[in-house]
Amino acid sequence: MNAETLDLSRPAVFTTSDERAAAIAFFNAAYRAEESGLRQAHEMADAVAREDPDLAACLRLYGDEEGWHRSLLTQFLAWLGGSVRPMGPTTRTFYRLYARAERMESIVLVNLMFETIGSTTYRLALRRATQPAVRQMLTILTRDESFHVPLNVHFLRAAIARADGDPRRMRMRLRAIYHATFVALVASTAASRRRAKLFDRIPTRVLGRAYAEQLSRLFLDEDDLGLAPSPFLLRAFGLGRDALLRAPSPVSLDAAERAADRENVAVAAY
Ligand SMILES: [Fe+2]
Ligand SMILES: [Fe+2]
């Protein structure tokens, strides 16, 4: 991590001050996601440290990577001519609710869904980004968050295996969280477009559709988790199971192995 630094030698160029403000809003949202990921990962590492030191070490490294992203984003926001800003009311409510989650499997599931929409947004933003420093920042985030998706599926399986209480109730709770978070995240694209579209130029429909596809695809192949999206949800977003299954799974062991050695990862825009 320490060997990889941002090249911010050239000044940031924006055609309007609104575009700059949108860029600052975009990367502030990224900053908050990193901060939340870092805290949750380290809290979970502490919680499992005694029973499962290997899992704890893995969670700690993962949290450290989010901390590294957070520090890169702090430099990057300054380069944009902005800074880390206090959260708006909606974002604050979202993270506050999330911070109240207590069960590890619920926390990991929500986090995994955040990682999914994060990597999706960064990859889509790469389509239009032209400034080399912006591309570098987005490429780092796309590469690492894409790896965090299968990594968190591993954490989710570990959390489910060590969960106590009635397993049937836990499955029902996870399914309810998955479906509610799915709808909330797709709905959140409207607010994010108001703030960030002038910078990332992702149309509302494209972003909403990409979130729905990626979040639906997550668990389609993972029968043991019992978290496949309901047929009703797929229909509501005009998605077909067979078409989704034709795309490679973002959470397979293959996907994880392809992403594990960051120097060999080629990040492609959608
Ligand atoms: Fe991150
Ligand atoms: Fe992440």
111-122 pLDDT tens trace: 999 999 999 999
Helices (H), the chain: 17-48, 53-79, 89-99, 104-126, 132-162, 167-200, 204-217, 231-236, 241-246, 253-260
On the question of pLDDT at 105 being above 80, the answer is yes
How does pLDDT run across 55-87, given as a tens digit for each residue? 999 999 999 999 999 999 999 999 999 999 888
Per the model's pLDDT, the better-predicted residue between 91 and 215 turns out to be 215
Per the model's pLDDT, the better-predicted residue between 187 and 268 turns out to be 187
**What residues pack around ion ligand 2 (CB closer than 5 A)?**
115, 145, 148
Band (pLDDT 50/70/90 cuts) for residue 259 is confident
Per the model's pLDDT, the better-predicted residue between 267 and 213 turns out to be 213
Instruction: Please give the pLDDT value at position 257.
Output: 78
Instruction: Please give the pLDDT value at position 269.
Output: 65
Instruction: Please give the pLDDT value at position 122.
Output: 95
Residues near 27 by beta carbon (within 8 Å), at least 6 away in sequence? 73, 76, 77, 80, 82, 137
- Residue 141 CA to ligand 1 center (angstroms) comes to 6
- Residue 184 CA to ligand 1 center (angstroms) comes to 21
pTM exceeds 0.75, yes or no = yes
Q: Which of 16-25, 240-249, 261-270 holds the top average pLDDT?
A: 16-25
